[in-house]
């Protein structure tokens, strides 16, 4: 309700400076046209058993928050988070990583929230106030007195003498702050460039090691079922997803699973329809084998799998944010938020007639990161 309510003459800022906390808080109410109809302290008699019980129940929430925060920190730092395939030793622990980190963090935040609400409900005075609305911003005196009002509100709850709650809340806030700080800084601690040109961000599982041939294989669901790809296997205008395979990995379960699960390994092998007009990327004119083109499946926008290939338009679609890439023009983006082409894998056919990689990608796959090298 907006009124032309008559306000008391406002004191000067100097007069406000000389006032006590109570006087300032009262003045703040008057200046805001607040009429306190009823104000009843929650605990008129201090030190009763009921009051102590209420204090302990509030502190308990902050203790729960602090303990959850510590558990979150411990899980975040020490719980095994490296990928383990289902059925392998350690899978159960790995599978619990995300639920445990999420649960402990969620509980820590929730308990702080419940603690604050419980504190307000149990210790703030019962008060009924009526305030007239007025237009425009508050003047300087009003702004000065608001602080006093807030401090007085805190004093009314006797927070200063409720050491248990103060300590528990301080502990919870400290642990939560520490946890958030470590969570923010921890990912920056590892050096992503360790290994120089062989650093994880530069290379993919397609990189040849010791001159060994890297074949294109399908994922049949069984890592030991090695299904290699021949050019005659695919119809024109079709696409299939392929992964790297080395003979030295054949009996190595871990290596086989890793090459199928690595986030930068999936490649779309596309066989264009005959007679397509094709534009090659500069320096990558021989990356294809006939009508076969191999592009990283990792979207250059934010890394989703660009799994959809539309044969009629030769467009590769990313379902996440609808970026589209033209397969006949080195998978350059033609629609959506992606700004870079999909990385192209150089391929050929070996003496046995299988499709193989001629080398690793010429640039990092997937979305941008600091210091990414760009190959025009
Ligand atoms: S991740 Fe592909 S369009 Fe955003």
**How wide is the angle at C-alpha 86 spanned by C-alphas 83 and 90, nearest 5°?**
60
Q: Ligand 1: does its nearest atom lie under 6 Å from the Cβ of 318?
A: yes
Quick one: how far is CA 201 from the chain centroid? 19
* 69 domain residue, yes or no: yes
CATH number, domain of 240, equals: 2.102.10.10
Contact predicate 268/295, CB 8 Å = yes
Assess whether 167 and 212 both reside in one domain. Answer: no
Contact predicate 129/37, CB 8 Å = yes
Q: Ligand 1: does its nearest atom lie under 6 Å from the Cβ of 192?
A: no
Quote the domain boundaries for residue 185.
13-189
CA of 358 to the centre of ligand 1 (A): 27
* 2 domain residue, yes or no: no
Assess whether 162 and 36 both reside in one domain. Answer: yes
pLDDT score at 7: 56
Question: What is the C-alpha radius of gyration for the chain, rounded to an integer number of angstroms?
Answer: 33
* 369 domain residue, yes or no: no
Helix-strand-coil split of the chain, %, nearest 5: 40, 20, 45
pLDDT score at 370: 66
* 260 domain residue, yes or no: yes
Cα–Cα distances in angstroms (integers) from residue 19 to residues 22, 39, 195, 201, 233, in the given order? 8, 22, 66, 63, 89
pLDDT score at 373: 63
Q: Ligand 1: does its nearest atom lie under 6 Å from the Cβ of 337?
A: yes
Atom of ligand 1 minimally distant from the CA of 304:
1
pLDDT score at 372: 67
Tokens representing residue 202 in the block:
């530069």
Assess whether 162 and 209 both reside in one domain. Answer: no
Q: What percent of the chain has pLDDT over 70?
A: 95
Q: Ligand 1: does its nearest atom lie under 6 Å from the Cβ of 298?
A: no
Assess whether 161 and 299 both reside in one domain. Answer: no
The H-assigned helical ranges of 190-297 are: 253-261
Assess whether 50 and 118 both reside in one domain. Answer: yes
* 363 domain residue, yes or no: no
Q: Ligand 1: does its nearest atom lie under 6 Å from the Cβ of 323?
A: yes
Closest C-alpha to ligand 1, atom 1: 302
Assess whether 330 and 202 both reside in one domain. Answer: yes
* 271 domain residue, yes or no: yes
Assess whether 177 and 268 both reside in one domain. Answer: no
pLDDT score at 325: 97
pLDDT score at 8: 59
Cα–Cα distances in angstroms (integers) from residue 203 to residues 63, 243, 347, 361, 368, in the given order? 46, 15, 16, 8, 15
Assess whether 264 and 312 both reside in one domain. Answer: yes
In a 13 Å sphere around the CA of 321, the CA atoms on its Cβ side amount to: 12
Contact predicate 131/17, CB 8 Å = no
pLDDT-flagged residues of the chain (< 50): 1-5, 376
Q: Ligand 1: does its nearest atom lie under 6 Å from the Cβ of 183?
A: no
* 4 domain residue, yes or no: no
Assess whether 215 and 165 both reside in one domain. Answer: no
* Number of separate domains in the chain: 2
* 338 domain residue, yes or no: yes
pLDDT score at 322: 94
Assess whether 183 and 275 both reside in one domain. Answer: no
pLDDT score at 154: 77
Assess whether 165 and 38 both reside in one domain. Answer: yes
pLDDT score at 6: 53
Picking from 189, 218, 252, the residue at the C-terminal end of a domain is 189
pLDDT score at 179: 83
Assess whether 151 and 218 both reside in one domain. Answer: no
Q: Mutation test of ligand 1: which of 300, 316, 318 has the most ligand atoms closer than 8 Å to its C-beta?
A: 318
Picking from 165, 189, 213, the residue at the C-terminal end of a domain is 189
Picking from 164, 189, 214, the residue at the C-terminal end of a domain is 189
């Amino acid at each position: 309700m907006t009124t032309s309510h008559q306000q008391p003459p406002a004191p000067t800022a100097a007069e406000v400076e000389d006032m006590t906390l109570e006087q300032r808080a009262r003045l703040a109410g008057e200046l805001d046209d607040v009429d306190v109809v009823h104000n009843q302290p929650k605990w008129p008699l201090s030190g009763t058993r009921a009051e102590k019980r209420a204090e302990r129940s509030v502190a308990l929430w902050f203790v729960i928050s602090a303990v959850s925060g510590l558990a979150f920190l411990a899980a975040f730092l020490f719980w095994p988070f490296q990928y383990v395939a289902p059925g392998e030793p350690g899978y159960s622990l790995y599978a619990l990583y995300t639920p445990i980190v999420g649960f402990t963090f969620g509980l820590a935040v929730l308990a702080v929230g419940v603690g604050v609400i419980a504190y307000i409900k149990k210790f703030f005075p019962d008060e009924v106030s009526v305030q007239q609305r007025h237009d425009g911003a508050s003047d300087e005196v009003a702004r000065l007195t608001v602080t006093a009002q807030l401090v007085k509100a805190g004093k009314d709850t006797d927070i200063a003498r409720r050491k248990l709650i103060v300590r528990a809340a301080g502990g919870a806030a400290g642990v939560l702050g520490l946890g958030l700080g470590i969570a923010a800084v921890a990912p920056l601690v590892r050096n992503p460039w360790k290994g120089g040109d062989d650093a994880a961000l530069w290379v993919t599982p397609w990189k040849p090691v010791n001159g060994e041939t890297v074949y294109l294989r399908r994922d049949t669901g069984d890592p030991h079922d090695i299904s290699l790809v021949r050019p005659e296997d695919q119809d024109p205008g079709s696409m299939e997803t392929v992964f790297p395979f080395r003979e030295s990995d054949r009996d190595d379960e871990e290596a086989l699973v890793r090459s199928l699960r690595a986030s930068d390994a999936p490649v779309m092998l596309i066989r264009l329809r005959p007679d397509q007009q094709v534009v090659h990327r500069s320096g990558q004119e021989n990356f294809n084998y006939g009508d076969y083109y191999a592009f990283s499946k990792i979207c250059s926008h934010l890394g989703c799998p660009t799994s959809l290939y539309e044969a009629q338009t030769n467009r590769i679609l990313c379902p996440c944010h609808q970026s589209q890439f033209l397969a006949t023009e080195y998978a350059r983006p033609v629609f959506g938020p992606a700004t870079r082409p999909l990385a192209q894998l150089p391929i050929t056919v070996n003496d046995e007639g299988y499709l193989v990689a001629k080398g690793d990608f010429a640039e990092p796959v997937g979305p941008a990161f600091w210091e990414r090298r760009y190959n025009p």
